[in-house]
Amino acid sequence: MTDQTSRPHVLMMSEITADGKLTLRKGASSKILMKYMSHETELLLHTTRAEYDAIMVGANTIRIDNSFLTVRYVKGKSPLRVIPCSMGDIPLDANVLGPDAPTAIAVCEGAPEERIDALRKKGASVIIAGKTHVELPLLMKILKEQFGVSKLMIEGGPTLNWHMLHDRLVDEIRLIHLPFIVGGSDTPSLVGGMHINSENEMIRLNLKKFYLCGTNLVSEFDVLYTGA
């Protein structure tokens, strides 16, 4: 397991349907489902954001959802927004590049110079973390050591969630359960990535808390990383 003193403590937080999906279908924005969260749960999400030093989502979530990732429904400071995007090619008019909060875009060494310049001109910090793709363990180390990030929350999507879990970088998971079934074998679920080959590779969780927040069930787990 990664030495936790060299990286932030990481919480994965997500809204999921009863069948474990994050959106209505592939390519759809999760904002459609988020409309059905109760107000108390929106407050929980934004309170959690305000408690964290940084928030990270994958580049595709920015392309599809165009998220702001700010604290809006409660008083509090918006966290540093961190987007891993190997070539730095998120749209330059993305909300996350707006002035509401600081933003860091993590790219690899192969990212074109002109993209890096354009992101910096928009006010973003650019972190080079990896040769051909963003190496998440290295990014975590840089966030801790150079940006003072002790607590990071990640809000998906499934590709980022899988890579973070696969690299053993997630400590806790908090799920907001939405009482819907959307189906669809290619509809994004909480964790994407590769399938596993044996039960030894299952990532084990310890359920530590569950409660109603407004009308939504919320469950909280510690990630154990026993096995393989």
Interacting residue ranges for ligand NAP, rule: CB under 6 A: 14-15, 22-23, 28-30, 33, 57-61, 64-65, 84-87, 133-134, 136, 155-160, 163, 188, 192
At residue 208, what is the residue type?
K
Question: What is the smallest separation between the CB atom of 23 and ligand NAP, expressed in angstroms?
Answer: 4
Question: What is the smallest separation between the CB atom of 44 and ligand NAP, expressed in angstroms?
Answer: 13
Q: Is 214 exposed, middle or buried (0-12, 13-18, 19+ CB in 10 A)?
A: middle
Yes or no: say if 21 and 187 are a contact pair by the CB < 8 Å rule.
yes
In the complex with ligand NAP, which residue's Cβ is closer, 75 or 188? 188
Residue 164 has which token pair?
Answer: 């973070």
In the complex with ligand NAP, which residue's Cβ is closer, 33 or 96? 33
In the complex with ligand NAP, which residue's Cβ is closer, 169 or 198? 169
In the complex with ligand NAP, which residue's Cβ is closer, 119 or 136? 136
Question: What is the smallest separation between the CB atom of 84 and ligand NAP, expressed in angstroms?
Answer: 4
CB within 8 Å of 225: residues ≥ 6 apart:
1, 168, 203, 204
In the complex with ligand NAP, which residue's Cβ is closer, 76 or 137? 137
| Strand residues in the chain grouped as ranges (E) | 9-17, 54-56, 80-84, 103-107, 125-128, 151-154, 172-178, 205-213, 216-223
Rounded Cα distance, 207 and 194, in Å: 24
Question: What is the smallest separation between the CB atom of 212 and ligand NAP, expressed in angstroms?
Answer: 19
Question: What is the smallest separation between the CB atom of 52 and ligand NAP, expressed in angstroms?
Answer: 15
